Copies of this chain bind each other. A is one copy, B any other.
Amino acid sequence: MKTMNEYIETVNKKLDEYMEINYPEDIFKAMRYTVMLPGKRLRPVMCMESCRIFGGSISDAIPTACAIEMLHSQTLIHDDLPCMDNDDFRRGQPTNHKVFGEANAVLAGDALLSFAPQIIFKHSSSLGAEKILKVLNEYFQAAGAYGVIAGQVVDIESEKGNVQGDKAKTLEYIHIHKTADLFNLALRSGAIIAGASENQLVMISDFGRKLGFAFQIADDILDETSTFEEMGKTLGKDKAAGKLTYTSLYGLEKAKQDLNDLIDDCLELLKQNNLKSEIFEQILNKIRKAG
């Protein structure tokens, strides 16, 4: 068993190794820049911990855990572009295109989308071809048009007021795909590496969906109530833009209540399935506090 800090150190050390600068330096520097920004490493930690609670060896999950952080970085680089959310700061630092220019930021994101699964391929041979393919398929599904990109597209459309129908359903769709899909990639691939059963995969996906939804509600709450110094990115933009958020739709009080309920559900799921995890409890309580 590892502590949160030990997990984060493991991830940072491996990412530093994987993200070495090769030729052409411009592209590797741009890729490395966003991946190595200090972050909570939530997704890789979740991947390794999921592997552990289902009886796998943490070290088997490290390449996949790091690849998921690279994929997450890719989404940040492209989401921050001027033609998307046009953000200047991320994790307290200038965004990728601010440092490397737009062309290199687009290409660095593109490169990470192939670099990440290649890391899984290159460094997980001990898992065997069948298991690697299963993990890669989870990666393609979460990274693509059925995953995070679906969430981002509907988010953009909803900002333009182009989404018809039920606002609550649209928001749930955005949250599930923009956030829960990467959480579930982390949790499910960790479980697959550990050799979890189909039932266990269903359970951990349910957990991941609820956790992702809670995380996004907490993020919406923080966007309204926090400061740049606390968050390292420009805040209050959502509200100013009249964007569809959980707090704008339901108000701050109900948002906090729903967040609490989702966290309780997650803790209950772990308990029901006899899965003991201090790490997941820490993550859940941190998200609860944020709200």
Contacts and interface: CB of A to CB of B under 8 A. Distances in A.
Interface of A: 22-24, 26-28, 31, 74, 78, 81, 83-84, 101-104, 106-107, 109-111, 113-115, 117-118, 121, 129-130, 132-133, 136-137, 139-141, 143-147, 149-150, 152-154, 156-157
B26 A153 contact: yes
Contacts of A133: 121, 129, 132-133
Instruction: Give how many copies assemble into the complex.
Output: 2
A153 B23 CA distance: 10
A118 B144 contact: yes
Given A118-B144, A121-B137, A129-B129, A78 B110 contact: yes
15 contacts: A22-B145, A22-B146, A24-B145, A24-B157, A27-B150, A78-B110, A83-B106, A104-B156, A110-B144, A113-B114, A114-B140, A114-B145, A118-B140, A118-B144, A129-B129
A83 B102 contact: yes
A75 to B, nearest CB: 9
B110 A109 contact: yes
A145 B103 contact: no
A98 B171 CA distance: 28
B24 A150 contact: yes
A172 to B, nearest CB: 14
Contacts of A152: 107
Contacts of A84: 103, 106
A110 B110 contact: yes
Contacts of A31: 145
Contact of A153 (B104, B130, B139): B104
A113 B115 CA distance: 11
A133 B146 CA distance: 22
